[in-house]
Structure 1
Amino acid sequence: MSTAPAPEDLLEDWEPRPFVLAALLAGGGLGLCFLFDGSDPQPLAGAGAAFIFFGALAAAFALDPRNWKPVAIFALALGAIMAGIAWHVLRFEEAYAGRHFAFAAGVFASVIALPLFQAGFHRTGLNTDYKLTHFHVWTDAISGAGALAFTGLSWLMLFLLDGLLGLVGINLIEDLTRQGWFVWMWSGGAFGTALGVLRNNLKIIGSLQNVVLIVLSLLAVPLALALVVFLVALLASGGQALWDATDSATPVLLACAVGCFVLTNAIMRDDDVATSRSRILRPVAMVLAAGVLPLSIFAAVSMGIRMNQHGLTPERIWALICIAVAVAYGLAYAVGLARGRRLGWAAHLRRANLNLASATCVLALILALPLWDFGAISARNQIARLDAGRVSVEAFDYSALRWDFGDAGRRALARLGEREGEVGRLARAAAEQIERPWRGMEPAPRDDISARLRVQPDDPELRREVLDFLTIESWRCAKACIALDLGRNAAGRREIALIEGYGFERFALGGPDGRADPVFPGARDEPETPFDISAKVELREEPRRSIYINGRRIGMPVD
């Protein structure tokens, strides 16, 4: 039997609440201002900011003057946990891949933990009153959204007042808004004031919650129809449509599964009395609840196809975890529908919501802790695919090991660099990269570029400088190119016209790290005849120098 108070017991107003929350969050904003100086946050500063931000918000939402000690302990504990996660993310951002996902998992755990704490889960565990938990989830969301909207309106009012006073030469507000401390304090104070007023009117918020759920439930019918059409079309295609759409299928399927979950709960509410009586919406809710599992399974199939094609990455591992959680909800909903059949299914789904919410909160918190290195797992998987011949030596993404998998990936790349042959050479080239190349623009082997490059005139020193440049930006010489010497500029740097099928571009060689700087003018006129490395290229004086390809002038004069 739950000992948590009913929602009606939480409706008592506390007159000082708006002032207390305004002071609390304004002070938190001031603390955040002092911790951030406009540069990237350092680990300790980031940890302090996370402690203030999450601790202050938790205290603001959960504040109860009749029982303030547990609230203080919860807020301090939540702030300390998020501070530790933030410190580790900033301290080891380059060492461990995907740490921003770990921070997101911590935020997700905090969002779930707040209404569970407000409902008394720390005292009653899985016997917590579902109606009370449901009440806090929605009132927190509505009051938070309302406070955020008020904060935006308060800034609009401030700008309006600034314009009004500016008409008579008073620029005080304009001067204040240029101060970081005022921006943070005003935003925190406005949010806290609005939140305090809204939390003092939970009875009204509770009524507004019913309106919000009624409006949300209207979206259930089109989603259910689209779900049925999708499942029929997918089965009719034998799954081929899912195979063809693997690039975008997983996030779309997961988003639809979340939509089914939200709209199902919008219809079934917190108890059977409040559940929608519509003869249309109740069966629609059953369709949506049943749709969570197949959507989650199809998302898993889509991700499996992607992994079979390209192997594991830290991002795909996080996606797999999200899919596993969605499948767990889908299974629980399917079992609840089967056990409840036509009338009692909603009660089973509500019980599943509470159990799975608490389990998901714990899982998210564990994943946020520095216990796993998904970069190391991904690196081992990718190298196993290379060794097994599932990906060719040339197609293997060496740059991903250098940039995307953390220190574990770089160690794996160093081991590949010790190998003989093409694998070792490509791995060593990737290890020497000073910045992440754009996808599809990774540096090509120097020998490959040299085979499709002609330098005119054939000067060994010029050829070396051009190769240094094109090894970094090999996409500029994807098929065939000719580097035409234009002499040295006033700064003593050698300039070239790099000629390809579309015309030419002009560069000054000898930049930092072997790069080249673009020089204008250039040209993008298409040659009338097919361009290849054997094309006849001339630099004519007439009286200004112009470039001719196969007897046709390209673009404007070089000088």
Structure 2
Amino acid sequence: MAGEGGIAKSALAHDGDLVEDYPARPWLLAGLGGVAGLIVHLLLDVDGEEAWRYALASFTFFGFAASSFVLGSRRWIEVTVFALGLGAVMGGLAYLAVDAGDRVAGEEFAFAAGVFFSLLAVPLFQADFHRRRWATPYEETHFHVWTDALTAGGALLFVALSWLLLWLLHALFSLIGIEIIEGMIETTGFVGLFMGATYGAAMGVLRNQLGIIGTLQGVAMLVFSLLAVPFALAILIFLFALLASGGSALWEATDDATPVLLSCALGCFVLANAVVRDSDEARSSNVAMQVAAIWLSAAIFPLTVFAAISMGIRIDQYGFSPERLWALVATGIATAYGLAYWAGLARGRLAGWSHYLRRANLHLAVASCVIALLLALPLVDFGGISARQQVARLDAGEVSAEEFDYAALRWDFGDAGREVLRRLARREGQVGEKAQAALDEQTPADRYRELGSEEHRRANMQVEARDAYWEGRIREHFARLGWHCDEPCFAIDLGFDQDGERRIKLIQGAQVTDWFLERENDTEPFEPDIVLPRRTAGPLREDSTVEVREWQGRQIYVDGQPMGDPFPAEE
């Protein structure tokens, strides 16, 4: 463990602030946390969504969160300005997100970009990047990233344990009729006060033990390093199989491919850096781990390229949307990391590759921090970009007037989308009629009623029934349910069971579900029926007879392949 110890020693030797023992820190953070938690609780524990409440709550929460990482006995002015500044940025973003309502598309993603900016800004401030800029030692930045994660995780665990202890004491005192703890918990603001104070106290104690946390950081990286080898092998097999298949399997799963690929790229990044660590002296000397780290570093780029291609296929099929544009941004940043790692591996070769990877980490962290802040600010309207591109697809004939999603312009793209929709409504013919119908919708639910209407579900439905009456019953039942047969489905009437209930097998997608419809007189109107659960044997009793019997049954086949469980033959 010499490498891990070297991390703590180098950090301690460089600047005492990194591992400063500040006795007042737990008390200060407990007090600040209690006040901050109380304020946030009182602001949000009300009906209504006033923007100023969320802005002030975000300012308080993020300002305290930042101070819990950077508070020390020195540089009080800098620390205060940074914490208040970060709180002000997040408070402003929260105000814009809530105040915008549905006028701006994707405000939740902008706020998430602000959170990402905050996560990067804190360790950069701790490492004095605002002073030293590109001369900032990578060892310090690396040290702060890992110790911040460990101390925050430990503090949250302490909060959970504190709640558990509080409820245990409540149960104990309740045995003798003392309900004082329950009364405290139900007091307005107590939850926020308790959570903030316990988190602040725990953070204060843990931040005073950064020397020990630095050693734990080494242990954590050692554990991650052990995962690097099997993960690298799995990624190698995946990429080889994907290239051998020509990518067909991936392109058929474009709904899930992009987030899965980006998550795997993130896993490669984390595990590779767990091996690389903060210096060549601290880097793992195990040859297998070093080879795994090189392969994981090299695999980031192809994974992100495949993610970009997958997203491109999705955009080619359905056009831009605010969510897809944000996904493109995330893919672009991940691809930049992959390219930088390729460049680092090429420049460093076998001797200095890890040095170039560390330099890339610092430069890309700063760039990502700036990009996240710019995207969080209301400088770019992804809703307007998406709306204009969707109309361009309509005008170019890439999507028909019948299939064009007018409701998306009404509800998903903000005011820019509705302005484009109003221009479409002034056109002649089917486009103008459908655009005006979308403008006339009063709630988003109207959109889903149109897309998933009873007529739509009946058109998707095929029914194999014993007679016309039960065919009508089955069609009416699933058409009125509202959450089935929005895609092609097939219902099979199996007749009555021994309890006098009609047995139905519904096939939809890759699933087969059992339904039981109650018997009705022919004169009763069609109404949605009660769905009864599948019957099972049990419970097992002492005098139960258990035996195995041979039986002959039936099986549903789709395109010649069995689907679902076998079921008994008709009686």
User: Taking structure 2 as the reference length, what is the TM-score of the superposition?
Assistant: 0.79
Within 1, Cα distance between the matches of 2:236 and 2:290?
16
Question: Contact 1:503/1:526 (CA < 8 Å) preserved in 2?
Answer: no
Query: Is 1:279–2:256 an aligned residue pair?
Result: no
Letter in 2 for 1:502: I
Query: Is 1:102–2:110 an aligned residue pair?
Result: yes
Q: 1:548 to 1:55 in 2, by over 3 A?
A: closer
Q: Which range moved further: 32-41 or 42-51?
A: 32-41
1:47 aligns with 55
Query: Is 1:502–2:474 an aligned residue pair?
Result: yes
Q: 1:8 to 1:72 in 2, by over 3 A?
A: closer
Residue 337 of structure 1: which of 333, 338, 345 is its match? 345
Residue 450 of structure 2: which of 443, 451, 455 is its match? 443
Q: Which range moved further: 133-142 or 32-41?
A: 32-41
Question: Contact 2:406/2:438 (CA < 8 Å) preserved in 1?
Answer: yes
Shift of 1:231: 1.4
1:263 aligns with 271
Within 2, Cα distance between the matches of 1:229 and 1:134?
31
Q: 1:505 to 1:253 in 2, by over 3 A?
A: closer
Letter in 2 for 1:546: T
- Structure 2 matches for 1:52-451, cutoff 5 A? 52-437=60-445, 441-443=448-450
Q: 1:221 to 1:40 in 2, by over 3 A?
A: farther
Within 2, Cα distance between the matches of 1:268 and 1:507?
58
Question: Contact 1:3/1:124 (CA < 8 Å) preserved in 2?
Answer: no
Within 2, Cα distance between the matches of 1:507 and 1:121?
61
Question: Contact 2:250/2:257 (CA < 8 Å) preserved in 1?
Answer: yes
Within 1, Cα distance between the matches of 2:125 and 2:354?
24
Question: Contact 1:303/1:320 (CA < 8 Å) preserved in 2?
Answer: yes
CA displacement 1:359-393 (0-9 Å, x = unmatched): 10000000000111100100011111111111111
Residue 19 of structure 2: which of 11, 33, 37 is its match? 11
Shift of 1:251: 0.5
Q: 1:388 to 1:5 in 2, by over 3 A?
A: farther
1:546 aligns with 523
Question: Contact 2:26/2:202 (CA < 8 Å) preserved in 1?
Answer: yes
Within 1, Cα distance between the matches of 2:163 and 2:446?
40
Shift of 1:555: 8.4
Within 1, Cα distance between the matches of 2:228 and 2:302?
17
Letter in 2 for 1:55: G
Within 2, Cα distance between the matches of 1:524 and 1:7?
78
Q: 1:524 to 1:102 in 2, by over 3 A?
A: farther
CA displacement 1:322-346 (0-9 Å, x = unmatched): 1110111011100000010001000
Q: 1:372 to 1:503 in 2, by over 3 A?
A: closer
2:489 aligns with none
CA displacement 1:65-108 (0-9 Å, x = unmatched): 12211100100111111111111111112111000000000000
CA displacement 1:21-60 (0-9 Å, x = unmatched): 0001100011112212333431111110111000111111
The number of aligned residues is 481
- Structure 2 matches for 1:467-486, cutoff 5 A? 474-475=455-456, 477-478=458-459
Within 1, Cα distance between the matches of 2:344 and 2:218?
24
Within 1, Cα distance between the matches of 2:476 and 2:371?
56
| Percent identity over paired residues | 51
Question: Contact 2:477/2:529 (CA < 8 Å) preserved in 1?
Answer: no
Question: Contact 1:503/1:525 (CA < 8 Å) preserved in 2?
Answer: no
Within 2, Cα distance between the matches of 1:144 and 1:499?
60
Within 2, Cα distance between the matches of 1:506 and 1:404?
29
Q: 1:191 to 1:426 in 2, by over 3 A?
A: same
Letter in 2 for 1:205: I
Q: Which range moved further: 178-187 or 423-432?
A: 423-432
Within 2, Cα distance between the matches of 1:258 and 1:148?
24
Within 2, Cα distance between the matches of 1:337 and 1:503?
62
Q: 1:307 to 1:479 in 2, by over 3 A?
A: closer
Question: Contact 1:503/1:524 (CA < 8 Å) preserved in 2?
Answer: no
- SS for the counterpart of 1:180 is coil
User: Taking structure 1 as the reference length, what is the TM-score of the superposition?
Assistant: 0.81
Within 1, Cα distance between the matches of 2:460 and 2:65?
57
Shift of 1:347: 0.5
Within 2, Cα distance between the matches of 1:176 and 1:249?
48
CA displacement 1:398-421 (0-9 Å, x = unmatched): 111111101111111121112111
Question: Contact 1:46/1:86 (CA < 8 Å) preserved in 2?
Answer: yes
Question: Contact 1:44/1:87 (CA < 8 Å) preserved in 2?
Answer: yes
Q: Which range moved further: 177-186 or 330-339?
A: 177-186
Letter in 2 for 1:145: G
Shift of 1:180: 3.2
2:7 aligns with none
Structure 2: which 5+ runs fail to align? 1-9, 463-468, 481-499, 505-519, 531-571
Question: Contact 2:347/2:353 (CA < 8 Å) preserved in 1?
Answer: yes
Q: 1:138 to 1:438 in 2, by over 3 A?
A: farther
Structure 1: which 5+ runs fail to align? 445-470, 482-496, 509-522, 528-542
